[in-house]
Amino acid sequence: MPKEKLLKIAMLSAHSCPVGRLGTRDTGGMSVYVLELARELGKMGHQVDIYTRVHDPADKVIYELGQNARLIHLRAGEDEEIHKLAVYPHLPDLARRLEDFRRENRLHYDLVHSHYWLSAWVGRHLQKWWRVPHMVMFHTLGAVKNAVGVGGREPELRIKTERSVVSSCQRIIAATEKEKEDLKRYYDASADKVRIIPCGVNLDMFQPIGKRSAREQLGLNGDKTVIFVGRIEPLKGIDRLMLAMTYLKDGHRPRLLIVGGGENSRNEVERLKKLAVGLQIQDRIEFMGLIKQPDLPLFYSAADVCVVPSYYESFGLVALESLACGTPVVATKVGGAENIIRHGQTGYLVADNEPSGLAEKITLALAQSDNNKRLASVMRTSLVPFRWTNIAEMVARECRDLLVNGTAD
C-alpha cells in the first residue's frame, strides 16, 4: 500500500456533538479534538464523516465542516439534550441507523475511529459488521476517575465496556504516557496496542491580544486577574482555586474570572457561589458563563495567569490555549501539563491542588506578568509541536499503519 494512501474514516462522537456549546457539562475538550482532527485530516485529502446523535430537533442531518469533512446527525432516542449516561440505551439504535445511512449512501470506510466509551461501544459493532480496524481514544477513563474519587462514581457498566473495547479494538490513542500506564494498570491493555499522541491547539484562533486592550474590551480595570476556563464540575477543582484565593494577600488579592458553565451546570455554579460567600471573596470572583471559543483569546489575554487546578484531566486543552495567548499557566501535574508547561518559564506545575501550594505559584506568576512580548513568543514557539496539523499527521500515520499491519477481527 502506498504511504500516501488517502483514507475514508468513520469517526464516532455519539454523546457529544463536535459543534455543540463548549464548556457545558458534557461538551468540552473532546468535541474540540474531534472537530479539529477531522478538519485537518480533511485538508490532507482524507475523507472524514463524524457521526453523532441528534440532540436538537433543529439539527440538519449533514453539516459540511470543511474540505472532505462532514458531520452526520442520526436519531437515537428523543431529539433532545440528555445526560451522557442516558445515551447508553440508544446506542444499538444509533449503530443500526449509521449502518442504514452508510448503505443508502453507498459509503465505504477503511476504519472506525471512536471517541469515548459510548462511541467505542458502537465502534465495536461496526468493526465486526464492516470487518475494518477500530481505533479508539477514550479521552477519560472510568476506572481512573473512580480512583481519583471526586464527583459522582462512574458506573460499572462504563468500566466493563471500556475493558471489553480495550481488548477487542486494534489500536488505542492515549494523549499521555500516564494514560498509557493507566490503560495497562486498570484495563490490562497490551502496550503495543497503545500509541501516544498529544492533543493540539489552534494557533490561528488563539493569539495574544494586548492585555490593556483586552481588558478594556471586557470592561475590566487594571487589577491583577486570574482566570479559570472549562466545564464547571467537581473534578476541575475550582473550589480548591477559590480556597487558594484566600491565601493571597488582602490588598493585592487579584480578581478571579470563571469561564464556563451553562444550564446543566447550574447546581455546581450555585455551590461555588455559596462557597465564595462563605470565604468572603464573592467581590473578587466573576462567573462569566459560557464564552464562545473564538472570543476566548480576549479572556486569556486579559488575564495575568490561567489556573488549571484539576484533580484529573485526560490532557487539558485550556493550558495550551492560554499559552498560545501569551498567558502563563499554573496547573496540577495531571493530563498533559508536564509536557505543555515549562516549569518556571511558561508557568508552574504543582504536585496537587492543595490551596496554599497553588497560591504560592499564582503569586510567582502574577509577579512576572506584565505584557512580556518576548515570553509570549517563547510560549508560542513551545507549542509548535502541538499544532493540529502535526497531530493529524500522527493520527493518519497510525491509521495507515493499522491498515497495513492491523487485523480487523
Binding site for ligand UDP (CB under 6 A): 22-23, 28-30, 32, 229-231, 259-260, 290-291, 293, 296, 315-318, 321
- State the amino acid at position 241 in one-letter form: L
- Compute the half-sphere exposure of residue 261: CA atoms within 13 Å on the CB side of its CA: 18
Q: Which is nearer to ligand UDP, 229 or 244 (CB)?
A: 229
The nearest distance, CB 201 to ligand UDP, in angstroms, is 9
- State the amino acid at position 32 in one-letter form: V
The nearest distance, CB 84 to ligand UDP, in angstroms, is 12
Q: Which residues contact 105 (CB under 8 A, 6 or more apart)?
A: none
Q: How far is CA 101 from the centre of its chain?
A: 28
Strand ranges (E), 221-354: 225-229, 255-259, 285-289, 305-308, 329-332, 347-350
Alpha helices in 285-354 (DSSP H): 296-302, 317-324, 337-340
The nearest distance, CB 373 to ligand UDP, in angstroms, is 23
Q: Which is nearer to ligand UDP, 63 or 287 (CB)?
A: 287
- Count of CB atoms within 10 A of residue 75's CB? 14
Q: Which is nearer to ligand UDP, 10 or 259 (CB)?
A: 259
The nearest distance, CB 170 to ligand UDP, in angstroms, is 25
The nearest distance, CB 300 to ligand UDP, in angstroms, is 9
- Stated as kind and residue range, the H or E segment containing 8 is strand 8-12
Q: Which is nearer to ligand UDP, 166 or 320 (CB)?
A: 320
Strands 329-332 and 305-308: parallel
The nearest distance, CB 289 to ligand UDP, in angstroms, is 7
Q: How far is CA 27 from the centre of its chain?
A: 8
Q: Which is nearer to ligand UDP, 42 or 230 (CB)?
A: 230
Question: In this chain, which residue has its C-beta nearest to ligand UDP?
Answer: 28
Q: Report residue 376 as a C-alpha cell.
A: 509570549
Q: Which is nearer to ligand UDP, 19 or 378 (CB)?
A: 19
The nearest distance, CB 234 to ligand UDP, in angstroms, is 12
Q: Which is nearer to ligand UDP, 47 or 146 (CB)?
A: 146
398 neighbors 113 (Cβ within 8 angstroms): no
